[in-house]
């Protein structure tokens, strides 16, 4: 397709560019990879599930004892609501490593991307997966349910996590689940990695990709401006990870301060990795700091496994 700068209608570099003919050009990402179920060489198995307008990649340790129950993690990828994929090599490898490190079951959500699918599409897709996961809570064996979750997910230990925009989505899924009887009845913890939240400054990208924006203080974008909602956050504990050189660092700090001051009754911890950029752990997964953050998150999700390893 031979398009030039004069054909550009909206430019949101480094994420995407929209041309006058409606074509969307994305700039960041890594190639998608298939799930893996090689029993001979892999420590972690994976498979894909289609769920309404969304889909998910499930991860499980290769070796699980019969009837053994493991903590369940629901993970949401980042990418400014508009790029990247749960099926990319970066996220596939990250979730595989996290499952191996922490000995958990994981569900990594693939949602529709803006701008072709404006917000709230990504929120609705994530919640559709949440509701599908919740159907396994009674241990039934109905059509459409997955045996990995039925047999090995501990629904008394459910965690949500995400990075960047995925952290925003994860926070909002906890808020939404708390007010919806069809959702997960109990969420133990929330992990926000370099979260993308707003503040009082104009949010041009958000306004462009959101079909029902409430402005800079939209509670989905800027939860720190809504202490009443934060005080009712439906989980027991929260871990916030920030990075010293991340332009979004102060958004995570503001969320932490607002949550502490809201009167919420849970436990919140914030840990900063000095000298690192936004989502550095995805680009340099073998670095010492990325490994340290992996161990931190693994011990938060499954402290029993961390204590025994």
Catalytic residue set = 164
Write the CA distances from 56 to 108, 213, 260, integer angstroms.
5, 27, 33
Closest CA to 192 of 115, 248, 144, 263: 248
Give the E-state strand segments of 77-221 in sequence order: 105-110, 153-163, 189-193
**Residue 61: other Cβ atoms inside 10 A:** 19
In the block, tokens 């559709």 appear at 128
The partner residues of 239 in beta bridges, in order of sequence, read: 191, 269
Write the CA distances from 23 to 3, 26, 28, 204, 210, integer angstroms.
9, 10, 16, 20, 18
- Helix 89-102 and helix 288-301, axial crossing angle in degrees, nearest 10: 60
């Amino acid at each position: 397709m031979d398009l030039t700068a004069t054909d550009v209608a909206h430019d949101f570099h480094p994420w995407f560019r929209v041309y006058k003919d409606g074509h969307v050009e994305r700039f960041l990402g890594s190639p998608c990879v298939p799930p893996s179920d090689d029993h001979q060489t892999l420590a972690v198995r994976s498979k894909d599930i289609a769920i309404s307008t969304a889909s998910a990649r499930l991860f499980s340790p290769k070796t699980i004892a019969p009837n053994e129950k493991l903590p369940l993690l629901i993970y949401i990828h980042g990418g400014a609501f508009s790029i990247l994929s749960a099926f990319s090599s970066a996220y596939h490898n990250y979730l595989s490593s996290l499952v191996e490190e922490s000995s958990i079951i994981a569900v990594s959500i693939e949602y529709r991307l803006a701008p072709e699918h404006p917000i709230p599409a990504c929120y609705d897709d994530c919640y559709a997966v949440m509701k599908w996961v919740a159907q396994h809570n009674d241990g039934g064996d109905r059509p459409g349910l997955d045996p990995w979750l039925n047999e090995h997910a501990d629904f008394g230990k459910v965690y949500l996590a995400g990075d960047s925009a995925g952290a925003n989505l994860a926070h909002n899924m906890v808020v939404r689940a708390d007010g919806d009887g069809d959702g997960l009845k109990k969420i133990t913890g929330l992990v926000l990695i370099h979260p993308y939240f707003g503040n009082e400054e104009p949010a041009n990208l958000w306004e462009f990709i959101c079909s029902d924006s409430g402005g800079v203080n939209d509670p989905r974008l800027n939860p720190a401006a809504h202490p009443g909602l934060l005080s009712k956050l439906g989980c027991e504990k929260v871990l916030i990870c920030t990075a010293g050189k991340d332009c979004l660092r102060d958004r995570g700090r503001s969320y932490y301060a607002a949550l502490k001051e809201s009167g919420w009754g849970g436990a919140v911890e914030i840990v900063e990795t000095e000298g690192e950029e936004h989502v550095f752990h995805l680009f340099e997964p073998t670095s010492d700091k990325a490994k340290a953050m992996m161990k931190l998150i693994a011990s938060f999700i499954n402290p029993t496994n961390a204590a025994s390893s």
